[in-house]
Structures are given as structure tokens and as C-alpha cells.
Structure 1
Amino acid sequence: MPRTRHRLWYCPLCFTRPLLQHRILLKAQQGESVLTDVQKLQDEGEPCCSLMWHRVALCAGNITQQLTCYQKSITSLSSEATPWQKVSLLLEFGEWLYCHNFPEADAQHQVQWAIDILLHLESEQAEGSEDDSKKQDLSSAEGESLVGVRGVLLTEGLSDLKEVRRLDSLVRAHALLAVMADRTSPEHQLHLLRACVFVLRIWQVSMGVVWEISNEMAKSQPPTSAASKRDKAKGQGRKGKAPTPAEERPEAVVLDQELPSTPQDWARYVCPEQARLIFRTSAHPHCINAHSITKQTRSLFCLDLLEKELHSLSLDHLTLPIMHLAETIAQDLLERRSLSDLYRLRIVRRCSQLGLETHSPYQEELLNLSKIQEQEQMGCHKVMALSQERRGLHKASNQVLLTK
């Protein structure tokens, strides 16, 4: 390596990239230009550059710089190889524009663009290989505006939408559009109803997969005859004989894939434990799991928005499937028992408002639901202590930089 004061740039990028990223973020916090530094990451590919621009946007010092970084983060993804990253950025950018009082039309265009990408991906998977001319028309329509709504809006039948990751993104997108729209406009209710339909579709396709898996599990287990049951009962009566692991294993039950159809049925509904086990362990794309709902906290945020907007329109009977989905995400994906208990309490409250408090099975667990688990309290205290420590270190480093 040459012994010069610029010898750092002769190192392989795998060694200098962390230092370069730290330098970019530090310059962004101080309000300096980072364009030339980010260009050094172009060889790493579009996703890396886009992710870097996104990180710069989150720590930029002023709104103008944040706007520029968000735009560059989106336009860096020019190929169709990273649709999920682009959809996530568009939804976040649209929300950011709305929260910072930019024109509502600009914010809605970003979210609508994300919806068009989601539906376009679904049509590609359903149709397979299409004529190249149509794809060229879509790419040319997209290229007319660097950051904005696509020129073509594709519509799909609901039966063709089965991927939970896409359905979850559509729920988030329509919930954001509903919040951005005027409450007196028909578009407001339209986006709310579409989001509710996508929530029900998530439940429908997920329980279909749960039924298939439980059916396969039941078939794989050998049938238990009456004689074996009598032998098992006799064996349990003998002292000193422990049951074998095969005897201790619970029998697989084929779950019903039919969903509740009325508010009374949704008030009585409790997600089966076997379905929860499949949600926690499965990676099926048509099922609720950590692989299909990757941004659980963002999904919960949008589900809360959707529930509040429906409540403001006195459409409380439509909120029960939404809160059941939020409770399932909190319990089985995030593994946060206290948050799950909070959603159960909200289900009980909503059932009470609908006059269905006697239908909810959570009504009998109010005392247990109102407690916070000791383990979660310890975890929260630990996170708060680490956050305060990091803030102290960050503040001290900034003071050192200012004194130099």
C-alpha cells in the first residue's frame, strides 16, 4: 500500500465502506453535501446506494436535504429487481411528505405509485411471460416522471391476490391514502373499505394455508385405534411407567378454514393455538409469518390508523378483524405479550361498544390482561438505559467536534 496521506482509498471497499458510511452520515448531520461520497458506493449496486441515501435522509439536518435524499433514494432504484425496497421507500416518502405539510397530491402520488408497482408485480406472476411491448410501455410510462405516480394503473381481481406480503403493503397504502383524503370525500371511505377487504383477504389466505398444513399433519400421524387407547389408559394406571414422547405428543387437529362472517362471530373469535404455531414457524408466502409481514411495527401503525378512521365514521363493526390481525402480529410475530394484551383489551372495549361484551372470550381475562409481564418490564428498562447511554456518547462526540 502506498504510504501517502490518501492511502485509505487504496484499501478494498469491504474494509473502507464502514468508514465511508460513517463519514457520509456525519457530514449529513452537519448539513454538508454527501453527493461525491455516495457516488463511491455505486459499484456496490443500486440497493446499497438507495439504502445509503435513505439513511442520510433520516439523519439530515434540514427538510430540503431530507427531500433531496428521499428522491435520490427512490430514483437510485431504476431496475425492476428491487420492487419491495422501492415500495417501502415510496410509502415512507409519501407519509413523510404528508407529515411535513407538502401538497397532499404529491404525497398521494407516491403511495399510488407504490400501489401500481404492487399490482403490476401480481399481474406479472399471474400471467408469466407477457409481450415485451407491454413491458416497454410500462417502463416508458414510469420514466416520464422520476418521482411520482406511474402512468398506468393495473387492476387485479381479489382472488388473484394471495401473497400476504403484497396484501399487507396494500393495507398500509390504502390506510395512508384514507388519512390523506378529505373525510367528506367518497375516496376516503373507498380507501378504508379497500383496506378492510385486504385485511379479510389476509385472514382468508392464511387460514387456507393453516388448513392445508394441519390436514397434512393429521394425515402424517398414524390413526389411534380403540385398543391402543385402552392400552394407553392401562399404562397410565401403572405406577412408575412414564409415557413415551409419541404418547405425550398432542394429536393434530384439522382446523376449519371458514372465517367469521358476522360481527357476533368476530366478537367470539380467538385465533387457534395450532394456527398461531404455524404463523410462528411457517415461511409460506400465503400465510401470516415474519417472512410475509416484514415490517411488523409499521403494519401495526397502519392498522391502528385504519381502526381509528373507521371508528370516526361509526363503522365499528368493521374493526374487529383488523384488531384481531394486530393482536396476532403482536403476539406471534413480535412476541410482545403486553402489546397483545392491549389489543385484546381494545377488542373487549369495541365489543362492549357494539353491545357484544358477552360474546368476547377475553371478557373473563380482564385482570390478567391489564398486567405487564415482568420480563418485558426488565427489557424496556434495559432498552431505555442503552438509549440514554448512546445519547450521552453522541452528545459528547458532537461537543468534541465543535471544539476542534
Structure 2
Amino acid sequence: MLHIEKGKYKQQNVTKTLNNEAFENLEPQETYKYLGFEQNTSLNHSHIKQQLKKKYKQRLTLVLKSKLNAKNIIKAVNTYAIPLLTYSFGIVKWSDTDLTELNRVNRTKLTEHRKLHPNSCIERITITRKEGGRGLVDIQTLHNTQIQNTSLHQAITKADKGYTPLNLHQNDIQENTETNTIQHKKDIWARKTLHGSHYNIMQNPHIDTQLSYKWLHSGQLFPETEGFVLAIQVKVIATKNYRKYILKEKIETDTCRKCHQYPETIEHITGGCKLLAGTDYTDRHNTAAKIIHQELALKYGLIQTQTPYYNYTPETILENENCKLYWDRTLHTDKTIICNRPDITLLNKTQKHTYIIDIAIPNDSNIVQKETEKIEKYTPLATEIKEVWKQEKITIVPIIMSVTGITTKSFKQHLKTIDLPLYIHTNIQKAVILKTTTIVRKFMQ
């Protein structure tokens, strides 16, 4: 039994019930649990927060040790670990410092389990996946939203002037900083010199944000791979250039360790090193081209069975009575044309319509101009082919995707032109991203 008069503990004689059962007095240092929280005449906020933090870290570690994919592991943190803290919001007095520390614990644990690059953009972690973030709940924002936007809590806080051990009126926690909205975080991200470069690329009106972040929204990659791709996008990989000019390390030169000609930046590694052009870059390019070629071959009945793209070997020429499909073949014309070897050429015999399909995987900053270059590059060939092959129509179809999966708005239209389903984009994007991470890892080793 606990006796309180005017908010203060008062010792009472042992009380007996009708059955002569004795109820001992609760001592001042003892506590009883009510709705999950230990209390006496008041709550020991420091002790409760310490216990909650300990349990939260245990749950967080348990989730991060699991073998879930990137999206599900974040979802598990949001639905299994964070609700442990959410229950205490409005009862336990969490300061801004406490909440900031909890967000820092999230980042530290993610980094510790190789799910996050230590130099990644902080704001991007709690931005939704559709907008280029990882979708982790911002604990500070969640707390402030739950407290400030709940009229019931505000009414109870106003009325509880010593009526309960919580004494919410005295410990009013609505004076926390304003909730950080998604737009506010994106504005901070955009202002950062290094991290903001990717954000500014995505603001180009020709970029399709939804398609570009499709891989992130689906979240099927391993968490480590996902974190690595995001680090590549914001240019925080420890290249020589990054170490010399950002980390200020004392290294003699920042030239590429492979070609020894250009500064070793992340853009140079992913798409600018001459020594990788004939091997790794070509392999990545051909991977995307194989997906397109196999889908066209299946669509027109040139092959009967589908195989994984990494096991697919295109035939140089596939033909039936309706169409002819060329793979990486020189197209001979009467006039000398320099660019006469597109990746894929589809000749529709019944409609007398030829499609010149060329694939490119440029760096993120070059994706928009690369599409224009492809069209200009193959226009002379298209003019000659129309005359030599007696075609009614020639269509140039550039399939362009950046090394990290950024896609232009015209990508859908190009797929529609050759009558391929949109899921082809997802397959190409995943293949390209995996190849890019492999290239960077191998280079850095």
C-alpha cells in the first residue's frame, strides 16, 4: 500500500482486509509498476530512460544481425525496435539531447553492422525511399509529432497539476524544437557541397525520380550493397581525390592508381578509367544489352526459352519470317558511315520498320546529354539504312541509364517504342547497380 497526502509520502499502519490479509506499506525507495512504468510518488525519468535505451539497443542489434533484405531490415527497426520507445512518449520526459542521441545510436549501429557508410548523408537516412532515402523513422520527429499534434495529450497535460505521479503540467515537454519535415531535410541535403551533388542532379526536369529510385523503393538488395550504392551517389568513397581534398590526408598525388592519368574520383572509377573501358565497363554495358536482346528475341519468337541474363549468350543473327535481330553487328551501307555498329538492330519485315537500339551506361552527371549524343550519332546511319534496305521507317532507340540507376523520363517511351514491358527497367537497373558496386569494390581493393 502507498499513502500520499498532498503529493507527499505518508507512513500508515498495516491494513488488514476482511480475510485478515495484511498489506505492507510501500517504502519511499520502492516502486510499483503501472502501465509498464515503475513509479512511486513520481517517475524516475533518468532510470526509465536508461532501461528503455538498453532494451532498444538490444532489439536494434537483434534486427541488424538478421539476414533480411535492405527494405525489410529498416521496416523491422521501424516496427519492432522503435515502438518500444514510442510507448513512453508523452509520459517520460525525453529532451532533445536524448532524442538526438537515439538517432545517433541508429546510425552508429547501422555503420557497425556495415549497413551504412560512415560518411553518408545523415538527412537521407530518414527520408522516404520513394524520395531517395532509406525510410528509417526519425525518432525526434516522431516524438515531437506525437506530443504536439495530439489534442488529447495536450488537454491531459494542461489538467494534470499534481493529480498523478506524472505531473505532466510541470514536466511539459512541448517546448521541443519544431518537427523536421521531409522537405526541411531535403533542403539541408541540397545545401551540402559534396552530398548535395546527387540531389541537384535529381532536380533536372528530364530525370524520372520514381524510376531512378525504383531499386531503393523495392529494397531487394543486401543492406550492405544498398548503403554502398548510396555512398557512391554522394561521392564519399575513399578514393585518392576524396582522401586528399576532403579528409585532408597527406598523400603525394591523387592520380588514378590504374591509368595514372586523371584524378582518382568516384566518377573516374565508375565510368572514366581507360583501363576499365574494355573489360568492366563493357561487361556492365553488355549485361544491360543482353536483357533487352533476350526480351526482343522472346517477343518475336526467335528463341523459345528464357535464361538468366548472366547466362544468356546472344546470337549474332536471329531470323524468322517476320523479323531479323542483329547483335553488335556492323551494318554495311553504300556511303562510309563511321558509327555503323549499334548494339541491337531489329528489322520488322512485315512493317518494313527498323529499330536501331543502342545502350549506354554513363556517369550520373552525363545521363541527359548522353541520350542526345546517341540520337545524333546514329542519324546518318538511319538515313542510309532507310535507302539501302528499302525501309518505310527507321527509329533510333537510345536506352540510357546511369551507373547508379538514374533514369530519364524518356526511358518509358523508348521501351514503349520497341513494345517491351516496364519491368525490363527494374531488371536492367538492378543488374547495372550490382555491376557498378563490383567495379568499385574491385578497384578499391
TM-score normalised to structure 2 length: 0.27
When you count strand as a share of all residues, which structure comes out higher? 2
TM-score normalised to structure 1 length: 0.29
When you count helix as a share of all residues, which structure comes out higher? 1
Larger radius of gyration: 2
